[in-house]
Structure 1
């Protein structure tokens, strides 16, 4: 009997090699499959459980409220003159007066933040700020003088008064500042000539000028 030839031996080795290769590929696929894990699903909220509260939206910044209608009266820091300011509907009128010959009427707008920029004749100007509707602090420039001032909120009869009329063919324009302690500071201009103003009755505004009774009324913008 003949022994298997070399060709048969080679064929048997090739079959064995294919079997081993197939076995290794199958094992590798199983190992790769077993190492993969599905991602865990997101937890489903249970019935009745509270949902997370949404983040609160930022609150809007508060806007400045316009200053209240009010009257303010006070003196310059050097005590050389008095000043009064009346605020109405975002407008203001002011009066600077030394009680002898120097005076100035000024007017302008009031900003929502309480700042005032008032102007008058001959380059007069007032820069001030209303502080919490309680007082006005600032500076006033009149007739070459520069004055710092503070005017507190006034209560009647304190405040600013004015009277205009024609008396004995003369044009009368007078202003008064009534301070908290009852002091009155005023100038009367008669045909352009200033002089100290007579006292008024702060309760009624009555005043006598050149023999004629007039009524000084609160000055408004």
Structure 2
């Protein structure tokens, strides 16, 4: 048997070498991969702009109050007079017909100017102090209700009162001095009413049964 010749051996080596080159080309080393490839950047943290602290409570509203002042006027039927004095959210009022009927009333004034005053024997006065220039309302003293309007008073107009003991009698007098200077008042002696004598509106001086008294502005 003959051994393969040198030419055959060389050919076989050449084929083997080409095979190795081809294999090396297809399976060669891969390019190094960046450690940052295919990694999406992490989003920056979002800082909340909403404070976690509880909101401060709103300051309490200061309650409104009706303006202080004095008011005087007449009933719509012109049979009596009404005066009201307002101080620090409280009010007193006086109703009188200048003869024998009178009543003192008192109560509070709401922040919106509403008045609800009461007196003896079921006397009542309701009204509204609107813009501070007048009071409009209704007063009831021992009979049917009477509507009235009382305008802002300027001294010496307004509400006056005098109390004293004269000749062992208890004297209680009330006067309403109107803007035109006219006066309406009732004087009681031991609870018996009668028309009141005139006062001097500049000083409040008045003479009762020969004794000199001083009436003073009436306030709550």
| TM-score normalised according to structure 2 size | 0.71
Aligned to 2:97: 98
**Structure-to-structure mapping, 1:175-190, within 5 angstroms:** 175-190=174-189
Aligned residues: 161
- SS of the equivalent of 1:145 reads coil
Aligned to 1:150: 149
Q: Distance in 2 between matches of 1:136 and 1:82?
A: 13
Aligned to 2:208: 209
- SS of the equivalent of 1:195 reads strand
**Any conservation in 2 of the 1:64–1:113 contact (CA below 8 Å)?**
no
TM-superposed CA distance for 1:199, in Å, is 0.2
**Structure-to-structure mapping, 1:93-132, within 5 angstroms:** 93-132=92-131
Q: Distance in 1 between matches of 2:146 and 2:129?
A: 17
TM-superposed CA distance for 1:152, in Å, is 0.4
| TM-score normalised according to structure 1 size | 0.71
- Listed as ranges, the gaps of 5+ residues in structure 1 are 1-59
- SS of the equivalent of 1:200 reads coil
- Listed as ranges, the gaps of 5+ residues in structure 2 are 1-58
More helix by share: 1
TM-superposed CA distance for 1:64, in Å, is 6.9
Whether 2:82 is the aligned partner of 1:83: answer: yes
Q: Distance in 2 between matches of 1:178 and 1:185?
A: 7
After TM superposition, the runs of 4+ consecutive aligned structure 1 residues lying more than 4 A away are none
Question: RMSD of the alignment, in Å?
Answer: 1.4
TM-superposed CA distance for 1:164, in Å, is 0.3
TM-superposed CA distance for 1:145, in Å, is 2.7
Q: Distance in 2 between matches of 1:111 and 1:131?
A: 11
Aligned to 1:72: 71
Q: Distance in 1 between matches of 2:144 and 2:169?
A: 29
Q: Distance in 1 between matches of 2:84 and 2:149?
A: 11
Aligned to 2:158: 159
Aligned to 2:191: 192
